[in-house]
Amino acid sequence: MPWSSEPDLDHSEVVSQRTNAAARPILEAFARRHGIFSKQVIKAVGGPTPLIHPVVARELGGALHSQAMGNVIAANADPALVPLKVRAGLAKLSAQDLAALPSSEAKEAFADWDKPLVPAGHHHPAWQAKDAVAWLKNFPPIRRLPKPLDTWDDATAALWLNDRPSITPASQNGGSDDVVVAIEASNPWKPSLEVLHTLGDLDLEELAYRVFVERLRREVMPYHISERRLRVRDAILHVTFGYQTLEDARRSVREHDLKRVRHFDRLFGVDREWIYDLCCRIIDAYAWPSGFTESDLWSEFPDLDDIER
């Protein structure tokens, strides 16, 4: 595997020492100006990884995010410690709009990506994970429209129903009451709301599931995807400081993924397996640097999965 090779560890150590030597005066000056002289801070600043130490981040965060520190990092960190394809992938990820689907493949995987969840001008509170859990307690819906389907107007219902197979004249003559038809705006056979309110239980379950997927993708997962992007960015940046190897960086992202997985497992309970699969599909729809997809990390760090989920 390409990830088994590591950079020159001696060079990583040189980069780390050089970066730390340039960064410490900025941290110390910030501490003096703000009267921060605790033993924890002094020890963290003098330690082997001051730029990522949690005590430094908590107490001296202003120094870490200053222009002077940015100049130190630019002058002393070594991007060459990260393979070019990983750096290119990180640049692509950083430029990606997480509110939009990035590729035609992703749009095909989530065919309802552009459908409105509520009528135009209507607003509803965005889900958190706990709200998705509460919604699932009443799934599948039986002879009732779950939220937000119960707010739909004709136009919204038509957008969700029009991609169903259209009824043909022959099947009309057959008279199957269970057939759900497409609603063609130019020549409607049935009003869309009438179709929506008369769906059989299985058709309603399928439609409600599609809406659930979109609400989870649009409202719940962006926070976790944004967190993951920051973790990937920081893990790769720490390699350029000489603080860790690329394998260490990838392992740290897998550990981050597992925290989310275990959190969702606790929340979703009996639904956890298919929710896990759905979340993986959503995350994989985004462009991650080479070697940092969730599936890559899952297969390469199986020892981390030995901890009970």
Check whether 48 has a pLDDT greater than 70. yes
pLDDT at position 124: 86
DSSP 137-196: TT-S--SSPPTTGGG--HHHHHHHHTTSPPPPHHHHHHT-TT------TTS-SS-HHHHH
Q: What confidence tens digit (pLDDT) does each residue in 213-232 have?
A: 999 999 999 999 999 999 99
pLDDT at position 171: 38
CA pair distance 57, 52, nearest whole angstrom: 7
pTM, two decimals, is 0.81
Check whether 118 has a pLDDT greater than 50. yes
pLDDT at position 174: 43
Q: What's the whole-number average pLDDT of the chain?
A: 86
Check whether 168 has a pLDDT greater than 50. no
What's the average model confidence in pLDDT over 151-177? 64
What's the average model confidence in pLDDT over 190-216? 91
Check whether 177 has a pLDDT greater than 50. no
DSSP character at residue 243: S
Sorted by where each begins, the domain ranges of the chain are: 1-77
CA pair distance 173, 212, nearest whole angstrom: 34
pLDDT at position 270: 94
pLDDT at position 238: 95
* 169 band by pLDDT with thresholds 50, 70 and 90: very low
Q: Which of 15, 3, 6, 8 is nearest to 238 (CA)?
A: 15
CA pair distance 272, 258, nearest whole angstrom: 13
pLDDT at position 306: 57
What's the average model confidence in pLDDT over 261-267? 95
Q: Do 248 and 52 meet the contact criterion of CB atoms below 8 Å apart?
A: no
pLDDT at position 59: 93
What's the average model confidence in pLDDT over 180-207? 75
Q: What confidence tens digit (pLDDT) does each residue in 90-116 have?
A: 999 888 887 777 778 888 889 999 999
CA pair distance 221, 106, nearest whole angstrom: 15
Lowest mean pLDDT among 67-76, 171-180, 184-193: 171-180
